[in-house]
Amino acid sequence: MKSFAALYALVALLPALASAQSAEWGQCGGIDWTGSTSCVAGSTCTKLNDYYSQCIPGTAAPPSSSNTPPPTSQPGSPTSAPTSAPTSAPTSAPSASNPFVGVTPYLSPYYANEVQQAAAAISDATLKAKAASVANIPTFTWFDTVSKVADLGTYLADAQSIQNSTGQKQVVQIVVYDLPDRDCAAKASNGEFSIANNGQANYYNYIDQLVAQIKKFPDVRVIAVIEPDSLANLVTNLNVQKCANAQTTYLTCVNYALKQLASVGVYQYMDAGHAGWLGWPANLTPAAQLFAQVFKDAGSSPFIKGLATNVANYNALSAASPDPITQGNANYDEIHYINALAPVLQQQGFPATFIVDQGRSGQQNLRQQWGDWCNIKNAGFGTRPTTNTGSQFIDSIVWVKPGGECDGTSNSSSPRFDSTCALSDADQPAPEAGTWFQEYFQTLVSRANPPL
């Protein structure tokens, strides 16, 4: 954590200052708020909802949503289909506080096994030891096919048993990722279900199976990322026919997932793309309107905590300086994106908090275009998962994408070939999405920042 220590030290000062007076855009009231209720000069404490009052610059007028009209449709950045292990959920009443606090992340045995095998294949002793240490870093488990759901029960039972023997409450971190006509704006992560072939019913069955496993272990907490790329594609990619066709089904299926998972106490974060996608100022308000509507349509459950950003992407949480590819977007990293989006969500009635994937964000300024997402060359593992985020809006830095699992194949003859995976900034040759990419993993290890 060395190179980030200074940053955290700086950011850590902010809450201390805020206890005297909250900063511009800082929280200044709301249910369970114990900090300052006054704002620095030049801003006014404004109630956005029962849970959140905020220091709005100027008078008490609500924050104006977007600034200048900038580039709208950024290329949708699709994610890859990773594989991993599961989690479980609690039955207890949701708390307004951070679900990552007071729990120990359960380590995915699936990913740990992949990492151990990868380390065993490395001859250099120093690199081997660093590689092996990745197995101890909490990483989400992706349920990207219905056939993997049975494993969730195994992981939950294991987590329950660890919880019993250590007395430490366990949290299983999962990704729900099996929509029909999945990944509608790209090809690499096409899923198993199609809308034309009973996709909605198949998806409901997939969710029902997840819920059945989670129900059996009410004492183990489960935190879930909901459907990477899906709702973001509905914000910017309805010009893609497959996305337009999928719109109604995506909304219906995500609504079902949110409600069913909330009913068994799963804390949920809907995927919200990243700064270079929905973070363009012209996309912020349409995105906030969609997420808030989805939240309300699912009953505004407090288990629907908020949004996940940068899943499987490469953006810094807080960049030292803007990457040249972000030119023109004031929201050039995830913290700027989140600070811009959160107030608009609150205005729309969704008091969302965030989690941010930093698993592969250790190295910056690697891409030719901001929309490039596939196996970016020279990437390194990033900031370790922590609740010490320096932001009131961010519940935790997380590792959602299991580093080493491929984003997509570079083989142009494959049916799942996406040309993004053959761009000059994409590492090649690359195997199929979700399968192990040893050379890529070794680079992530050797270029980790902070170092492993």
Ligand X SMILES: *[C@@H]1O[C@H](CO)[C@@H](O)[C@H](O)[C@H]1NC(C)=O
Q: Which residues are catalytic?
A: 183, 229
Q: Closer CB to ligand X, residue 366 or residue 422?
A: 422
Residues in a beta bridge with 46: 54
Q: What is the DSSP letter of 382?
A: -
What is the enclosing helix (H) or strand (E) of 226? Answer: strand 221-226
SS3 212: helix
Q: Which residues contact 375 (CB under 8 A, 6 or more apart)?
A: 406, 407, 408, 410, 421, 426, 427, 428, 430, 437, 440
When asked if residue 160 is in the footprint of ligand X (CB under 6 A), the reply is yes
SS3 86: coil
At its nearest, how many Å lie between ligand X and the CB of residue 410? 9
Q: Closer CB to ligand X, residue 40 or residue 157?
A: 157
Residue selected from 91, 92, 164, 378 as contacting ligand X according to rule CB under 6 A:
164
Q: Closer CB to ligand X, residue 265 or residue 306?
A: 265
CA distance 72 to 69: 8
Orientation angle between helical segments 149-166 and 109-120, nearest 10 degrees: 90
Residue selected from 411, 419, 435, 438 as contacting ligand X according to rule CB under 6 A:
411
When asked if residue 198 is in the footprint of ligand X (CB under 6 A), the reply is no
Residue 383 has which token pair? 């900031």
When asked if residue 428 is in the footprint of ligand X (CB under 6 A), the reply is no
At its nearest, how many Å lie between ligand X and the CB of residue 159? 9
Q: Closer CB to ligand X, residue 58 or residue 429?
A: 429
When asked if residue 438 is in the footprint of ligand X (CB under 6 A), the reply is no
When asked if residue 123 is in the footprint of ligand X (CB under 6 A), the reply is no
CB atoms within 10 A of CB 368: 12
Q: Which residues contact 42 (CB under 8 A, 6 or more apart)?
A: 24, 57, 58
When asked if residue 168 is in the footprint of ligand X (CB under 6 A), the reply is no
Q: Is the peptide bond before 15 cis (omega within 30 degrees of 0)?
A: no
At its nearest, how many Å lie between ligand X and the CB of residue 55? 46
Residue selected from 414, 428, 435, 446 as contacting ligand X according to rule CB under 6 A:
414
Q: Is the peptide bond before 415 cis (omega within 30 degrees of 0)?
A: no
At its nearest, how many Å lie between ligand X and the CB of residue 298? 31
At its nearest, how many Å lie between ligand X and the CB of residue 166? 11
CA distance 142 to 323: 30
**Candidate ranges 168-176, 272-280, 397-405, 408-416; the one touching ligand X (CB under 6 A):** 408-416
**Candidate ranges 46-54, 160-168, 204-212, 342-350; the one touching ligand X (CB under 6 A):** 160-168
CA distance 191 to 433: 11
- In total, the chain counts a number of residues equal to 452
When asked if residue 424 is in the footprint of ligand X (CB under 6 A), the reply is no
At its nearest, how many Å lie between ligand X and the CB of residue 414? 4
Residue selected from 38, 161, 166, 327 as contacting ligand X according to rule CB under 6 A:
161
**Candidate ranges 80-88, 158-166, 175-183, 380-388; the one touching ligand X (CB under 6 A):** 158-166
**Candidate ranges 156-164, 238-246, 299-307, 357-365; the one touching ligand X (CB under 6 A):** 156-164
CA distance 327 to 8: 26
Write out the residues near ligand X by the rule CB under 6 A: 157, 160-161, 164, 411, 413-414
